[in-house]
Amino acid sequence: MTVWDHFQCHRGDCLLTGTGTLKAVFFIFASLCAWYSGYLLAELIPDVHLSSAVYSIQSIGKRPVLKAPTPKRQKCDHWSPCPEDTYAYRLLSGGGRDKYAKICFEDEMLIGEKTGNVARGINIAIVNYVTGKVIATQYFDMYEGDNSGLMTKFIQSAPSKSLLFMVTHDDGSSRLKEDAKKAIEALGSTEIRNMRFRSSWVFVAAKGFELPAGIQREKINHSDDVKNRYSGWPAEIQVEGCIPKGPS
């Protein structure tokens, strides 16, 4: 190897050594800058917002979940509220052997399983139309015993300006006699003579005043071995609505 070659190699070593030193200095400088920038950022952002910031970053791209408010419960479990100047009512016939009939008026259960005053036959509640207070409730077995006459007297005893609510549970027709049919017919029923064994029937009546033509007043559903919802019984039926209050 010549002196010139030795000199070139020596210069190359020097050049390599100089380049490595510059890289090391640059790396240290960049690290110091990054550390100082992080320090300043930590000082500027309060600690209490750090978790929120992390959550916000994680939530990017997720679809917002919209929750509908829980619907407010209405009187007698109506879907929509009745106006202030009306009475809310809901009548439900019995269904099967164990689903008892119900009569609800102004969110008060007048007849039902929880009140303990519902039974087989025709269940009736009488309400004072002016005050909205219940006058009397009674059930009349139409399968056993002679209760048709007693029910007729009960209906006729309702004072003027009364609301009468009637629902069946199980059978309401077997011992239903002509006098009772006439008394219920006089109140505006158009289905009482169509009652059959275990027909589901509900009826809203007024005594001493007229109900508005548009409200739900009466429904009937007959037992049918092919279409029955329950073994031997048709499905329960219901009517509900709002009755305008009269002058007090």
Rounding to the nearest 10 degrees, give the CA dihedral for residues 171, 177, 181, 184.
-70
Q: What is the mean pLDDT of the chain?
A: 83
Among candidate residues 82, 141, 91, 140, the one with its CA nearest the CA of residue 112: 91
* pLDDT at residue 224 in the model: 85
Q: Name the 3-class secondary structure at 22.
A: helix
* pLDDT at residue 97 in the model: 84
* pLDDT at residue 48 in the model: 44
* pLDDT at residue 7 in the model: 40
- β-sheet bridge partners, residue 103: 91, 111
Q: Per the structure block, which two tokens stand in for 49?
A: 């917002």
What's the pTM value of the predicted model, to 2 decimals? 0.71
Mean pLDDT of the 155-170 span: 97
Per residue in 207-246, pLDDT (tens digit) is 999 999 889 999 999 988 888 888 888 999 999 999 999 7
Q: Where are the domains of the chain?
A: 3-59, 75-244
Per residue in 183-195, pLDDT (tens digit) is 999 999 999 999 9
| % of the chain exceeding 70 in pLDDT | 71
Per residue in 17-52, pLDDT (tens digit) is 556 666 666 667 666 666 656 555 555 555 545 455
Q: Per the structure block, which two tokens stand in for 233?
A: 């019984």
Q: Name the 3-class secondary structure at 15.
A: helix
Q: Per the structure block, which two tokens stand in for 55?
A: 């959550």
